[in-house]
Amino acid sequence: MIVKATTLDAQLLTDIAIESKSFWGYSLELLNSWQDDLTVTKNMIAKLLCYKVLCDDETVGFYILNQPKNAAIELEFLFVKPNFIGKGFGNQLIQHAISEAKQLNVKTITLLADPNAEAFYKSKGFYSINQKESSVKNRFLPVMKLDLSSIS
């Protein structure tokens, strides 16, 4: 079940983001350097589109869509707890995000993907349009896009 997150969820969602990122084997040093980027604030939850997915009343993942701009919207966060990766929760979240974006009449969703998640997004119809250098030297992140007109 997917429900709107509340400001009381901020720390829990931050913890899920960090735990999910650690699934890919990143060092503690790297995870610590990304702390600010992985932090979900109460203000973000209040002002942006933030939803969480539940499994037996446990929050196991979430996503955040930024406010639409120029007929596009950015998927800022999408994370699933490691023990629930591969069980369909990421798919539920991305489908819900696509549905929310369509209701806002935007034409595209963009995102900055972790390289380990690029194949997941490609399987949902996203494609790479660019790359952005990360805070880690010689590491590039795919900038991806989904044209909503291609989704029925």
* Per-residue pLDDT at 53: 99
* Per-residue pLDDT at 147: 96
Strand ranges of the sheet holding 49-55, from the earlier edge strand across to the other edge: 2-4, 49-55, 58-65, 72-80, 108-112, 140-147, 127-133
Give the domain range for residue 58: 2-150
Provide mean pLDDT across the span 113-119.
92
Rounded to two decimals, what is the model's pTM? 0.92
Provide mean pLDDT across the span 71-98.
97
Provide mean pLDDT across the span 94-111.
96
Q: What is the CATH number of the domain that holds 117?
A: 3.40.630.30
| Structural domain count, the chain | 1
How many Cβ atoms sit within 10 Å of the Cβ of residue 24?
13
* Per-residue pLDDT at 55: 97
Looking at per-residue confidence, does 23 or 52 come out higher? Answer: 52
